[in-house]
Amino acid sequence: MSANLLFITLLVATSRVSSDILSTFKVLRFTQEPSSYIQFNPDFSQYTQAISICGWIKSLGSATYPTVFYYGSFSNAELTMLDDGGYICIFDSCMQLKGKFTVSKNTWFHTCVTWGASSRSHKYYVNGQMLGSQQTPSGRLLKTGQTLTLGNWRGDESNKEFGGEMVNLNFYAKELTASEVKTMADDGMCINMVVDQHEEVRLLKWEEIFKQPRSGTITEVDMTGTCAASVNTLYSQLMEAKTKLNETAEKLLEVSTRLNETEKGLDRAVKELEKYNNTKNKWDWNIFLSEQFINQTVSPEQSEQIRTSWDDIAQKLVGFTITEDLIKFWKIVDCVETEGRPWFMLQSEDYLNQVLTQDLAQQLTSTWDGVSERIAGVTMTKELVDLLNYVSEETNCYCGD
């Protein structure tokens, strides 16, 4: 069985492959009498541009013109096929391929005729091999409103009775390719009865033909026993493939879950980096407008104090709401000597009236790392502070490591 068929079958027909399907394995056996045929008027409106007629045949009769099917009017044949390659006709133009036909009597074989208005090619296949082809007139389309007869030429004509067996004869609204016909033949009669790769264009189906009124004696032959082994093998293959697909789906789900977790982790990392970058860039140069620094040259000791003065106290402030009163209080009780800790830093909008979180405490202790030493020796004028604020905020420039 082809890999394509297995895959398609698994996707669209697994539910059909069961013990119930075996009851539909019925062959129609026509007697060697002119009255044994099926005749009706199907809707061929979807077949005017292209058609393929494929099925399984067993030749049993001895008529000179054993006709499998005839589609046309009483005087003009649109499509005709004999079971021995004798006459394979379209638009009253016939290929006589009996000399190339090598299938013996009482043997099942796959047969298929294809035609397309665009290719203008009428082809005949036996067991997947093309025995002949012919060109058709440009612009000629298949007529609708004609009569279809299975098992005879036009019905009740002597020496034209089929007298054999047929099964799974389907009419496709498509010119099947040589590879598609070969795949169909290679898959075998029993598998063809279970699934069809061209279901979307299989408009006139064997199941419908099987239900048409019959003339004369036409018996049904049960193929359940013959096909049971093939179908059970197919079913086992499908279940095995389905199991593998389920396992693959589970692995894909696991990978997808990991990818989602990774994506969430990356999102968290991006947010942390953004927070870090925002912290690194967020210097409040306005602190140098205080009396302690304005118009003063920053000494190395002051620059170091700006960088390190919060290391020993920031964690103690975590959880407090930074208010003006709290700042005044800490200024009174603070034990830092010399010029004192720069409490005015807490009066910036980043801290004032905010609850000091761990992140803010970290920001307080690390904001000036790598920067404070660079301002040692600089005289902090208002114009310089304004310039520094512009560089930091408007251009998002980072002057750190």
Evaluate whether residue 332 is within a structural domain: yes
Evaluate whether residue 221 is within a structural domain: yes
Q: What is the dihedral of CA 190, 195, 201, 204, to 10 degrees?
A: 50
CATH code: domain of residue 200? 2.60.120.200
Evaluate whether residue 271 is within a structural domain: no
Tell me the mean pLDDT per 10 residues along the chain, length 401. Answer: 42 40 72 96 97 96 95 94 95 95 95 98 98 97 97 94 95 97 91 80 94 96 77 71 83 86 76 57 62 73 69 73 77 56 71 79 70 69 72 52 44
Count of domains observed in the chain: 2
**One domain for residues 146 and 87:** yes
Token duo for residue 56: 């399984």
Tell which of 225, 245, 265 closes a domain.
Answer: 245
Tell which of 245, 271, 304 closes a domain.
Answer: 245
Token duo for residue 228: 């049971």
pLDDT of residue 361: 75
**One domain for residues 57 and 172:** yes
Token duo for residue 276: 């870090």
The answer to whether the beta carbons of residues 352 and 368 sit under 8 Å apart is no
The answer to whether the beta carbons of residues 380 and 295 sit under 8 Å apart is yes
- Residue-range definition of the domain harbouring residue 187: 3-245
pLDDT of residue 162: 96
Q: What's the pTM?
A: 0.58
**One domain for residues 37 and 151:** yes
**One domain for residues 14 and 59:** yes
pLDDT of residue 201: 96
DSSP labels for 345-378? GGGSTTTTTSB--HHHHHHHHHTTTTTGGGGTT-
Tell which of 218, 245, 272 closes a domain.
Answer: 245
pLDDT of residue 226: 74
Residue 140: strand, helix, or coil: coil
Q: How many CA atoms lie within 13 A of 249 on its CB side?
A: 6
Give the separation between CA 190 and CA 205, rounded to whole angstroms: 16
pLDDT of residue 392: 62
pLDDT of residue 245: 83
pLDDT of residue 345: 72
DSSP 199: G
CA distances from 144 to 42, 45, 106, 117, 231 (A): 9, 6, 34, 15, 37
**One domain for residues 70 and 211:** yes
**One domain for residues 155 and 54:** yes
**One domain for residues 218 and 363:** no
185 residue type, one letter: A
Evaluate whether residue 252 is within a structural domain: no
- Listed in sequence order, the residues at least 6 apart from 159 whose beta carbon sits closer than 8 Å to its beta carbon are 63, 64, 65
Which residues on neighbouring strands pair with residue 51, listed in sequence order?
115
